[in-house]
Structure 1
Amino acid sequence: MTDWGEIEYTAVRELRGPLAVVTGVHGVGWDEFVRITLDSGEQRHGLVLEVDRELAVVQVLEDTAGMDPSRLRMAFAGGPLRIPVGPDWLGRVCNGRGEPADGGPPVFGPTTAAVGGTPINPVRREPPAEPVLTGVTAVDGLTTLVRGQKLPIFSVAGLPHLQLAVQIAAQSTAAGEPFCVVFAGMGLTHADASFVRDALEERAAAHELALLLNTADDPVIERILTPRLALTIAENLAFEGARHVLVVMTDMTSYAEALREVSAARGETPARRAYPGYLYSDLASLYERCGRIRGRPGSVTVLPVLTMPAGDITHPVPDLTGYITEGQIVLSRETHAQSVYPPVDALASLSRLMRKGAGPHRTRDDHLDVAAQLLAALARARQVRELADLVGQTALSPTDRRYLNFDQAFLHRFVAQRPDEAHSLDQTLDQAWQVLLTLPRGQLSMLPAALLDAHEAGP
């Protein structure tokens, strides 16, 4: 339980959007948890956002609707917001503040942890290694997700990024080791929130999922809190509970817009596109909470999903995310227009840590060679397609026409799969071989001759 101080402050000078400005405070620190009591007896909560001598700015978690500044009482906890942590979160559905949304009791735990988290000591960090297998062919085969990695999905409005995030959350595994998922939805519509709950119901019933859902009509401050709660839960499950934890956070653009709204309410000087100047460090404080710790068996892997306004990859949110994270999975309008799901643009996507988590003794001996050859052939196929648009297919050489066929085979026989379909790694790589063998052997120069002989001979 929180140890509330006996002093309650009533000198609330003003309410400004989601913020309350309190004067005459003493001994109050940044990020301190606040209990707000209305005249009716209703209680709300907040966090200290800023302190300047005897003045404190409090962000109200529930929102300031119906609050009369002259009839408020505020008590400060003397420390940051803490939540119960432990395995009791698994199987639960909560709102963005961690309050039950499934009709069950409040979540309890054997201990509590500060929502702000503690950075992992760089000296004790273990390099990411071993894969998280998502069951999605385009991800496992070409941009393998590695335990302890942060790998975002870049999308645009109208593409099925939420469907892909839910599919990954529903079917990811850690090769038989203890595994669970923490899913944080931010700014979702009620229809999307219902879709997420229904699609992940089986994993929740198996006590392998903790679900935090913040909807678009929830208070904006809650949206800022949601990913921090998710990461705090995940850190405990991983480093105290010895699980490999995948944290899916969608949509980080909604999170950044909430941050911008609070920054504007504080009267801060805006930076690029009116986002606060500390957007980079704020995003880094979330993304960098993933990883592995030497001497502990668990790991936290982060998969943030963000939509690029107008498809602009130079927009501050994807731009800064790209600086912090280790690659990206990019979804493509052109691929989506061909009725291919998931519409992954393989040439624009990259997992910088793939070589740490794939290949001999991790996935399959031929994995890295096959992925490199697929991408090289796909790049050549794109060049041939552009050439065909200029001179026509009849002017192409027989080999070039084989590359056009390869391009279609890659999309429809390798990338495409159903949203409820999980592919094993062997299925993924076997499909890759089938697509590669549509090309002449002389074009497969990145594959060892022994591998080619074995696969051309068949089973």
Structure 2
Amino acid sequence: MTAWPVVEYGDIRELRGPLVVVGGVSGAGYDDVVTVRLPGGAHRHGVVLEVDRDTAVVQVLEGTAGMGRHGSTVAFAGAPMRIAVGDRWLGRTCNGRGAPIDGGPPVTGERSAAVAGAPLNPTWREPPAEPVITGVSAVDALTTLVRGQKLPVFSVAGLPHLELAVQIAAQSHVGGAPFSVVFAGMGLTHADAAYVRDALDERATAGELVLLLNTADDPVIERILTPRLALTVAEDLAFTGGRDVLVVMTDMTSYAEALREVSSARGELPARRAYPGYLYTDLASLYERCGRIRHRPGSVTILPVLTMPAGDITHPVPDLTGYITEGQIVLSAELHGRGVYPPADPLSSLSRLMRHGAGPGRTRDDHLPLAAQVLAALSRARQTRELADLIGAAALGDVDRQYLGFADVVEQRLIDQRPDEARTLDDTLDRAWQAVRTLPDRELVMLPEAIRAAHPTGAAG
């Protein structure tokens, strides 16, 4: 992972949380790799965060616990951190800094790439197109994930966002094209990490998965490195290996909190809710590494999962994520309370690129108008339910009652499914038709006559 050290320094002036301040330094640069040698001979690794004249601030990946100012030396490699890349990552399970935890040897390869990476050049980008089929009806039918898209999942503590992320990682596919999943877990409990490994074991055994797991008791600095490692591996698998790669990153709120902790240790002026002022730029440097490159095979699709503290969607992490990404899947505590899994709220969720990945030649000719009809009818059903709360259900007309029944069918037949159930797209869309068939034909104004004729509703007109 690191280059050979060229200069060592022993003038450690300060230990500040996960940071080491080293004096008398010359020739060091931002993002350079660092090796810290402790008096007993043990080694730790780090990265240069800041250089000011002859002083360098280094973040130690393993943390500074047990270190002292005297007796330790810091070696600067003179180059940014790089890792080996290639197909040898497939099927491997590593910690948040890329060290194997599956009992296998370190990952090696003929090529290496800088971990810091860079967003794709806009002039190289090919517009996202073609769907990623997740097997989850709430996503495939109403908020279709498109190859090259960044589509976050907004959740709240206590909701099954990890289960949904694992389910999507386990059963997503793009038809017959080469497909891989890179799963980056940040701040997981040991129970959650074990659950992820067990649930994704089949995909890992098939050589289609890269698993990077950072647990809550791992050094906080490692949490900042984890998504960058995941994206570096994914970029090579996609743009060199020609694969369509889905990168699932959970939980980005844990990542942002790690960034806030390091910022505080550096003594930086805080911005909103004590997060650093560069949080937007930092998140964008991750999210914008997805996409497709013109005239090159492969794609990188990102599904970041984040929890909203106290359910506040205006919190800096979901707020800034929403500005950068192309839609969102919002999980609902109300649906979860009714026993619906996944508790995805269709009216709060949106895939802005859905029209680029669904419809004629991509999914089915009826997909887009059917999704529009379902959403329009759900909106009417929600208004009707609010009216019923005011005046009572007995005062509703027949059509209003049919809309309430429609919403129940959507929840029970379309959205609700088992966490281990992978539905085909045809099954998903057929379930949507079953729901709209409960409405009178005259209410299906979003469905063209030709499509309605091909899929008769069977409802009274």
The TM-score, its normalising length taken from structure 1, stands at: 0.99
Query: Per the alignment, in what secondary structure is the counterpart of residue 260 of structure 2?
Result: helix
Deviations 1:355-398 (A, max 9, x none): 00000001100000000000000000000000111111111100
Letter in 2 for 1:445: V
Distance 2:5 2:311 in 1: 49
The alpha carbon displacement at 1:3 in A equals 3.9
Distance 2:139 2:7 in 1: 54
Letter in 2 for 1:113: A
Tell me what 1:259 maps to.
259
Letter in 1 for 2:142: L
Given that residues 437 and 457 in structure 2 are in contact (C-alpha distance below 8 angstroms), is that contact kept between their aligned partners in structure 1? no
Query: Per the alignment, in what secondary structure is the counterpart of residue 455 of structure 2?
Result: helix
Distance 1:379 1:85 in 2: 47
Residue 103 in structure 1 maps to residue 103 in structure 2: yes
The alpha carbon displacement at 1:453 in A equals 2.1
Deviations 1:70-103 (A, max 9, x none): 1111111111100000010110000000000101
Query: Per the alignment, in what secondary structure is the counterpart of residue 389 of structure 1?
Result: helix
Tell me what 2:366 maps to.
366
Residue 245 in structure 1 maps to residue 245 in structure 2: yes
The alpha carbon displacement at 1:2 in A equals 4.4
Letter in 2 for 1:306: L
Tell me what 2:68 maps to.
68
Query: Per the alignment, in what secondary structure is the counterpart of residue 183 of structure 1?
Result: strand
Distance 1:268 1:118 in 2: 24
Letter in 2 for 1:103: G
Tell me what 2:442 maps to.
442
Deviations 1:138-172 (A, max 9, x none): 00000000000000000000000000000000000
Deviations 1:215-241 (A, max 9, x none): 000000000000000000000000000
The alpha carbon displacement at 1:451 in A equals 1.8
1:39-188 mapped onto 2 (5 Å cutoff):
39-188=39-188
Deviations 1:224-279 (A, max 9, x none): 00000000000000000000000000000000000000000000000000000000
1:203-214 mapped onto 2 (5 Å cutoff):
203-214=203-214
Distance 1:217 1:178 in 2: 35
After the TM superposition, which segments of 4 or more aligned residues of structure 1 sit over 4 Å from their partners?
none
The alpha carbon displacement at 1:119 in A equals 2.6
Deviations 1:290-322 (A, max 9, x none): 000011110000000000000000000000000
Distance 1:369 1:350 in 2: 15
Provide the aligned C-alpha RMSD in A: 0.9
Residue 408 in structure 1 maps to residue 408 in structure 2: yes
Letter in 1 for 2:209: L
Distance 1:394 1:67 in 2: 72
Given that residues 6 and 77 in structure 2 are in contact (C-alpha distance below 8 angstroms), is that contact kept between their aligned partners in structure 1? no
Query: Per the alignment, in what secondary structure is the counterpart of residue 94 of structure 1?
Result: strand
Distance 2:366 2:454 in 1: 11
Tell me what 2:276 maps to.
276
Residue 293 in structure 1 maps to residue 293 in structure 2: yes
Distance 1:258 1:359 in 2: 41
Distance 2:443 2:60 in 1: 62
Seen in structure 2, the aligned counterparts of structure 1 residues 3 and 411 have a Cα distance that, compared at 3 Å, is: closer
Tell me what 1:315 maps to.
315
Distance 1:221 1:14 in 2: 17
Query: Per the alignment, in what secondary structure is the counterpart of residue 302 of structure 1?
Result: strand
Deviations 1:401-450 (A, max 9, x none): 00110111110011000000001110010000000000010100111122
Distance 2:407 2:202 in 1: 36
Tell me what 1:378 maps to.
378
Distance 1:298 1:445 in 2: 38
Letter in 2 for 1:67: M
Q: Percent identity?
A: 73
Deviations 1:160-192 (A, max 9, x none): 000000000000001110000000000000000
Distance 2:262 2:199 in 1: 32
Given that residues 119 and 286 in structure 2 are in contact (C-alpha distance below 8 angstroms), is that contact kept between their aligned partners in structure 1? no
Distance 1:457 1:285 in 2: 47
1:198-237 mapped onto 2 (5 Å cutoff):
198-237=198-237
Query: Per the alignment, in what secondary structure is the counterpart of residue 213 of structure 2?
Result: strand
Greater Cα shift, 300-309 or 67-76: 67-76
* Structure 2 alignment gaps of length 5 or more: none
Letter in 2 for 1:424: T
Seen in structure 2, the aligned counterparts of structure 1 residues 95 and 360 have a Cα distance that, compared at 3 Å, is: same
Query: Per the alignment, in what secondary structure is the counterpart of residue 181 of structure 2?
Result: strand
Tell me what 1:27 maps to.
27
Distance 2:423 2:119 in 1: 35
Query: Per the alignment, in what secondary structure is the counterpart of residue 157 of structure 1?
Result: coil
* Structure 1 alignment gaps of length 5 or more: none
Distance 1:454 1:270 in 2: 59
Given that residues 6 and 78 in structure 2 are in contact (C-alpha distance below 8 angstroms), is that contact kept between their aligned partners in structure 1? no
Tell me what 2:387 maps to.
387
Greater Cα shift, 446-455 or 254-263: 446-455
Query: Per the alignment, in what secondary structure is the counterpart of residue 71 of structure 1?
Result: coil
The TM-score, its normalising length taken from structure 2, stands at: 0.98
Residue 331 in structure 1 maps to residue 338 in structure 2: no
The alpha carbon displacement at 1:333 in A equals 0.5
The alpha carbon displacement at 1:457 in A equals 7.5
Tell me what 1:456 maps to.
456
Distance 1:124 1:252 in 2: 27
Deviations 1:319-346 (A, max 9, x none): 0000000000000001001100000000
Residue 355 in structure 1 maps to residue 379 in structure 2: no
Residue 9 in structure 1 maps to residue 9 in structure 2: yes
The alpha carbon displacement at 1:109 in A equals 1.0
Distance 2:248 2:147 in 1: 13
